[in-house]
Chain A
């Protein structure tokens, strides 16, 4: 295991830029998630690290070793595809043993390693089964075991849980996270599911349009997005622009007190759940309910405030009807802002 360093990676297909100036350092034993919508280039990046494709520009280092021209079969960066791609004509055992067999490792050593992985990934009793006799979660674990067998420098997972149903997905997320910590392996995972990314990662790299927009811990990327794009991705819906004069935020919505010092231009951002309903008072924002969407555990309101739309989600089932007048409370002291 080593530090993985991606330097100035660029890649285009047919003049379409897929990856642009990617720089990324992944520390030993970390679980890094490449998060982004489909088409953001995250899978391309993963394939490039595995050696399945060549980048147009840039260098890949594993430790101090340049990997650009190390062929796919020598690179020791194993990818688990979202389709798993277990070899259908081999048993669970043979699938796991495959990489070692290709390296002509002694049979007794292979046997020992396979047994160890079978235990580790809780596959006891399935050794002689063929992939199509396994459940989704079992297939997943076989694919991971097969990749771990060759003790890769880095384990790469491409949307590993997207095909599992929700309950199994949660289990597998916890299982993989625990396994990664236990074995202290470097793991890069691609997903479009922000909840999955935030709950599993040590570090999250948000990719949009082939660029890394922010690379930070889950907490930081969620609480302190560096740009509107990042904030948008993590569900911020409300942006209030204005200026601060004498501890007061002046905006088209009104004036609100804040402890921030004076500034010409500032944008406050609020997630729908950070704005609440309240009584009419000094700092409240008054508006009219325009839309109401019920989604089980909460209700999402769209409130018309002068020419603005403010999005508010509420857990309390104090119901407001469309057309009703409401007062909103937003805490500008604790809110995240861009200057």
Chain B
């Protein structure tokens, strides 16, 4: 009997946080999004807020902006991150060296500072504009099309790529190395060239890790405030910023709108995970060795 209860007792501390803060937070938000907000006297459940938000053009624009910046930045980070991981592997076999660690620096740099770096490089008076001027591409800074605060969110994308790329490299490098050690020579021995070894053996075998890395950085960038706030355009706004504007409104009755947006952000994360689970169902077949 004691043995049966023991794991639950060990889980109590963590569950205090998960249920007591995390789940309470989500459920409170969910209730408010349906208009249940006793603090200001709203007690009836309604779908009105969802209807309002989902039909508002600014929300649709924000959704599109957030989705495209997050998706593109995560995709680029994953492709380059895996590529870099592969190149490092190649490097290590020859000499090794400090490269293996120095690339990790951006991982400990917070998003706020990542935004600053992009800002320094890409404003109209930024370093890239100066370089263009010296190379004779532009005559004055006013001709440099700034890559931040732009409607496509290039600055936002660059900042997320800068943060995401080394993260992906970090999570894939060890597994890539072990898979390479194990199977690369066998595949080459059967006639596969370098590219074929990577494409048919290494990549498929690290794909689950790569995909979960993608989900983590995608879900994060979709719901994070700092970078789109510091580098994004004033319109369209990213979803988290739109949400915060509603939340911070003097009129407390606007809060349910913020909660609706928050729920949409969370839902998008869940959908990604759902897709992941569906796609990788078949991997179980060979992965439970």
Contacts and interface: CB of A to CB of B under 8 A. Distances in A.
Complex A–B touching at CB under 8 A: yes
A51 B191 CA distance: 11
B204 interface: yes
Interface in A75-108: 75-79, 81, 85, 87-89, 98-99, 101-103
A73 interface: yes
Interface string B183-197: 101111111110010
A316 to B, nearest CB: 50
B189 A73 contact: yes
B191 A130 contact: no
Given A88-B205, A132-B288, A72 B189 contact: yes
B204 A99 contact: no
A231 interface: no
A131 interface: yes
B186 A85 contact: yes
Given A88-B286, A132-B286, A132-B288, A51 B189 contact: yes
A149 B196 CA distance: 18
Contacts of A79: 186, 189
A87 B201 contact: yes
Nearest to A51: B189
Interface residues of A, number: 29
- B contact face: mostly helix, strand, loop, or mixed: helix
Contacts of B204: 89
A130 B201 CA distance: 15
Contacts of B188: 71-73
Contact of A150 (B190, B193, B286): B190
B142 interface: no
B185 A73 contact: no
A144 interface: no
A151 to B, nearest CB: 11
A11 interface: no
Contacts of B185: 52, 72
Contact of B191 (A81, A88, A103): A103
B3 interface: no
Contacts of B283: 89
A147 B200 CA distance: 17
A147 B283 CA distance: 25
B55 interface: no
A77 B185 CA distance: 12
B182 interface: yes
Given A81-B186, A85-B186, A102 B289 contact: no
B285 interface: yes
A102 B196 CA distance: 7
B211 to A, nearest CB: 14
A146 B190 CA distance: 8
Interface string B205-239: 10000000000000000000000000000000000
Given A102-B196, A132-B286, A85 B182 contact: yes
A32 interface: no
Nearest to A94: B200
A31 interface: no
25 contacts: A50-B189, A71-B188, A72-B188, A73-B191, A74-B191, A75-B189, A77-B189, A79-B186, A79-B189, A81-B186, A87-B183, A87-B201, A88-B286, A88-B287, A89-B286, A98-B190, A98-B192, A98-B200, A99-B190, A99-B192, A101-B200, A102-B196, A102-B200, A132-B286, A150-B190
Given A73-B188, A73-B189, A75-B189, 12 more contacts: A52-B189, A71-B188, A72-B185, A72-B189, A73-B190, A73-B193, A85-B183, A87-B183, A89-B286, A99-B191, A102-B190, A130-B285
Interface of A: 50-52, 71-79, 81, 85, 87-89, 98-99, 101-103, 130-133, 146-147, 150
